[in-house]
Structure 1
Amino acid sequence: MTSDSAASNSGEAPQRGKRPEDPYSVRVISGKISAWIGRLGAVWLDGEVAQLNVRAGSRTAFITLRDTEANYSLPIVCSTDTLRAVPGELTEGARVVVHCRPEFYAQRGSFAMRAREIRQVGLGELLARIERLRQALEAEGLFAVERKKRLPFLPSCVGLITGAASAAEKDVLENARIRWPAVRFEIVHTAVQGHAAAYEVTRAVRRLDEHPTVEVIVIARGGGSVEDLLPFSDETLLRTVAAARTPIVSAIGHEPDTPLLDYVADLRASTPTDAAKRIIPDVAEEIERIAAARERLRGAVQRRIDQGYALIEQLTSRPSLADPHSMIVGRRDDIERGRERIRRAMTHSLSMERSALHSLSARVVALSPTATLARGYAVLQREDGHVVTSVDELTAGQRLSARVTDGRAELTVDDVHQSAAPTENESETT
């Protein structure tokens, strides 16, 4: 019985491997690692065949499967029967999906994935995957026009992601500097095809997006086959471009099969040369536009000045401005005529009122008791001041007061006579 078994049977807590005095044996730890790795179970892997080794007379084939996006690889072990079951000839660089499970070879301390089935991914299936990804990203709104950022009019610094010493790099730099010699470039060289292209381009986009002076980023490649352009339809790259704060231009240069980068980018250029023309203004054209704009401004200002002169001449030719005193003289004459009309109206009104006053005064005088007394009449009043209007109010011996025009006389009634009614002639005489 081993010491491990004894410890297990005694019920003591295992302390092996925790102290240098009680280490694990190699076979024990190898067994534990093998058991732990075996828990993963069978999985499907997608990758690219980086290396294929089939030894003569051996029933085992060895494959190095490389990640399609990053620089990672795994060893694959399979039987030659499994390898021969793959439709078509499996070669290095082929895209495959492998059904396998992890195995740890305890005696050698090595790890590999044991392949049970290998399927070679054809171009049709790759395009189908890209189409499914395109539909998913479109549904998320990553292709929407309203989310695309506007490019700066005159970027002082342009970020360029392209292959080292490539024709695309030359086209962009030459055309941009011909159009605007002062433009600066921050260039990042990456792989533009193969398994590492998507990873390197994604990392370059993040780097340039964080650059403080880069105002626009161009991803350039001079076209290629559908397989060559697969990295530019990588989902990680597409989501990185969509999340970037800096405007990004896609200049892959391939018309028939458009990579998904063209849909996510803020601007799609047909070629690297077209990208340079789209993001960098032509200095000669801009100088011509400035000159034309100056001419238009000069003409507009001259027209406004001419219109101002014409208006001034029109205003100064009017009588009111040609002879300003005429307005004062004319208004003075109007004022004099108005004053004369007012004077005549006032004189006429006073004359009319004076005549009316004389007429009323004459009527008042005529109706006044004093005027009646002046004609020889007298007013009889009793001692209490009551005016006597009838002989019925008088009695013999009664004292009366007679008021005449220039004084008053005291009277005594001797006798009262009732007179007959006056005749018509007497009434008229009275």
Structure 2
Amino acid sequence: MIEKDVIIVGGGAAGFFAAINIAEHDPKLKVAILERGKEGLSKVKVSGGGRCNVTHAEFIPSELTKNYPRGEKELLGPFHQFMTGDTMAWFETRGVALKIEEDGRIFPETDSSQTIIDCFLREAHKNNVTILYNHTLKAIDKDQDDTWLLETNQGYFKSKQVVIATGSSPKMWTLIKSLGHNIIPAVPSLFTFNINDARIRDIPGVVVPDVTVTVLGTNLHSEGPLLITHWGMSAPAILKLSAFGALELAKRQYKFLIEVNFIKKPFEDCINTLKALKQTLARKTVLKQAQFSLPKRLWQQMVLASGLTAEIRWADVSRQHIEGLATQLTQARFQVEGKSTFKEEFVTAGGVDLREVNFKTFESKLHDRLYFAGEVLNVDAITGGFNFQNAWTGAYLAAQAILKR
């Protein structure tokens, strides 16, 4: 039986952050991380396309929480305690220079997730954190002294304080359930839409900077950039819908109809603009010159989809054609037939019921000295560094609570 003062289950972002913040502030405490894999920080490695999107440049807590479909209300208080600016300061005081990109995402200046991994491993080593790889938790319980007993595939551990930071792990959720916690069933949260449609089949790589997307039959809609891919549609406009609509879209088994307004103008406004173009560009071919600042390849597909030929000039466009083109530009409907994981970043909605957690400390309301941090909780966010910010904040506040004891 190995005894530690604090055991952290899970060697990912939240686990390392909690361990380092505890060990650094109280060197007398024996802190250990139990990680089931042969190495930790796997999600950090692939985040942001291998660059590690550390957090997001949103510095107002109430605005930051709006990026969390689940956890918005609960994270408001914690973000007043440890925020994006605190995250940036934490890394920069440990030698990791960060940069803010135009879209607000924050990365290490090296553009390499290895910089973040190296920082964590260095700080853990410096502060005598024990990292035990290939340690899978099999059971967790309390003895008569109110001490946590942990059984792993490599032996037994005991500790007064335990932080569970295992991310979206069904096996861990089963163990947590055995302690009496309610687990919200997990469904995918960040995913792209699979669409097989002649209008977009031959134009992968086209980006429309600002569109509106609505899931028909629901109140789900989003705005932002749209990317046409080999398998359908992606980019923030789609990813926001996938996050905020995670539960609804799962219910529909990822088969639903979306409506895209490619120009973010009302149908009638579009009609009026097209009528004006019919006058001013009378002799020009409709297909050749893209309008509404749309990418040329997309414009051509919308023109052909509305029944116009490749040779037709503006002067010869009928009212029926104008209405058809306006429909394609402002009310284009696409059948979604499924989903794909966004890059390598697999995020789920689901986890420990938020009503059973004290968000001042991230401690279980059912068990003293049991803490949760990161995606093990029913908290998830849209893409852009927000899921990591939840991990840093939860891990930091759990560490502070442990240090106070």
Asked whether the two chains share a fold, i.e. TM above 0.5, the reply is no
Structure whose CA Rg is larger: 1
Which of the two has greater helix per residue?
Answer: 1
Q: Which TM bucket (shorter chain)? A: under 0.3
| Larger fraction in strand | 2
